[in-house]
Structure 1
Amino acid sequence: MKHLFSTLLLVLLVSCQNSAQNKEEQLKVINAKPIEVPIKNGKAKAYFASGCFWCVEAIYESVKGVDEVINGYSGGHTKTPSYEASNTGRTGHAEAVEVIYDPNIVSFETLVDVYFGSQDPTQVNGQGNDIGSQYRSIIFYQNEAQKQIILKKKEALAKKLNTKIAAEVYPFQQFWVAEDYHQNYERLHPNNPYIQNVSIPRLNRFKAKFPQLLKSNH
């Protein structure tokens, strides 16, 4: 019994130390200097986390001026995160998307409007039934101008709804591309029960709210 108690105490101490270390490492991410991704061939990149990336990918790909959306992971303190690792909630990473867009057609400001307008902005650590820190809402900024756009829109939405907005605001550091089977998931798996019952309804709600932003084929 004494040995068992000692073992449990050791496990608890190690767990507390790991939690404290992870919290410290995560604070470094939150307080880091943002990294700006240069415009290449006239295309810019923006990064968002808003629940399941299958849903978010489909939403942004319906927006005029968006060329491509890539699913991946960002916002955490571990290197080369995987789907399995991020799902533990211990990496600090969230499911995120990289939005490749033409800034002459759609602005970063509009992409932020899409972000807030396509989710429950009050839900902490998740969207719908997808619960956990890996599904939390994060908007990533690459420079001070983007940060101010995000903060002003977040503040305005909080006043409008008279409640706290859950989205965290992080300096962009790095984006890790998710496994191949996660890419273009809604388009390639239209009959998947999750896609039918969660992703498509979420996309359709967005379309109904922002018809003026949609591509002609959507």
Structure 2
Amino acid sequence: MKRIIPLLALVLFFSCQNSAQTNKKQEAIINAEPVQVPITNGKAKAYFASGCFWCVEAIYESVKGVEESISGYSGGHTKNPTYEASNTGRTGHAEAVEVIYDPKVVSFETLVDVYFASQNVTQVNGQGNDIGSQYRSIIFYQNEAQKQIILKKKEALAKKLNAKIAAEVYPFQKFWKAEDYHQNYERLHPNNSYIRNVSIPRLNRFKAKFPKELLKKGH
């Protein structure tokens, strides 16, 4: 017993130490200067996390001016995150999407409106039955103007609902593209049970309340 107690204390010490190191790394991400992604060939990029990226990818691709939405990971402190690693909740990353859009057709402000209109804005660390920090809601800003747009809309929504809005606001650092089999999942696997029971209903709820003139036809 005398040997077990010191060993247990040692394990707890290093566990706490690792947790503290992780928290410091995550704090550094939250407090970092945002990275501005340049417009390329007339297309800009924006980054959002709000639950399963299969759902979010399909939602953004239903919006006019959005060329493509790519599933991946962002907001964490580890490099080269994988689906398995992010699901542990220890990488700090959330499932996110990279939205490639034409700023002449759709504004960043409208993309933020899409974000808030397509989720349960008060649910912390998840959407529906997808629970965990990897499913938490985060909006990423690349400059001060974007940050102010996000904060003003979040504050207005909180007042309207008289509730705390769960979305975190992070300076964008890096987007890690997810494994190939995650890309365009809703479109390529329409008969998947999750897609039928979760992704498509979530997409349809969003489309039902968002202005029709801002949505693509037949998506």
**TM-score, with normalisation over the residues of structure 2?**
0.98
Q: In the aligned structure 1, how far is the partner of 2:133 from the partner of 2:164?
A: 17
- Residue 121 of structure 1 aligns to a residue whose secondary structure is coil
Shift, 1:216, TM fit = 1.7
Aligned to 1:154: 154
Aligned 1:11-30 pairs, distance under 5 A: 11-30=11-30
Aligned partner of 1:171 in structure 2 is 171
SS of residue matched to 1:152: helix
2:104 alignment partner in structure 1: 104
For residues 107 and 160 of structure 2, the distance between their equivalents in structure 1, rounded to whole angstroms, comes to 23
Structure 2: which amino acid aligns with 1:216?
A: K
What is the 5 A alignment of 1:13-92? 13-92=13-92
Looking at structure 2, the residues matched to 189 and 46 of structure 1 have their Cα atoms a distance apart, in angstroms, of 25
Letter in 2 for 1:23: N
Asked if 1:200 is matched to 2:200, the reply is: yes
Equivalent in the alignment of 1:115: 115
- Provide the rounded CA distance (Å) in 2 between the counterparts of 1:189 and 1:2: 57
Distance in 2 of aligned mates of 1:97 and 1:204 = 19
How many residues get paired? 218
Per-residue deviation, 1:217: 2.4
Q: 1:111-140 deviations in whole A, cap 9, x for unaligned?
A: 000000000000000000101000000000
The C-alpha deviation readout for 1:87-108, integer Å capped at 9, x for no partner, is: 1101100000000000000000
- Residue 127 in structure 1 maps to residue 127 in structure 2: yes
Q: CA offsets, 1:127-174, max 9 Å, x none?
A: 001010000000000000000000000000000000100000000000
AA of the residue aligned to 1:217: G
One-letter amino acid of the counterpart of residue 110, structure 1: T
Aligned to 1:186: 186
**Aligned Cα RMSD in Å?**
0.7
Superimposed CA distance per residue, residues 57-102 of structure 1 (whole angstroms, 9 cap, x where no aligned partner): 0000000000000000000011111111111101100000000000
CA distance in 2, matches of 1:64, 1:78: 34
The 4+ residue runs of structure 1 with deviation greater than 3 A are: none
Q: Which amino acid aligns with 2:71?
A: N
* Structure 2 counterpart of 1:144, one-letter code: E
Q: Which runs of 5+ in 1 are unaligned?
A: none
Q: Give the AA of the match of 2:218.
A: N
* Structure 1 residue identity aligned to 2:131: I
In 2, Cα distance between the equivalents of 1:93 and 1:181? 19
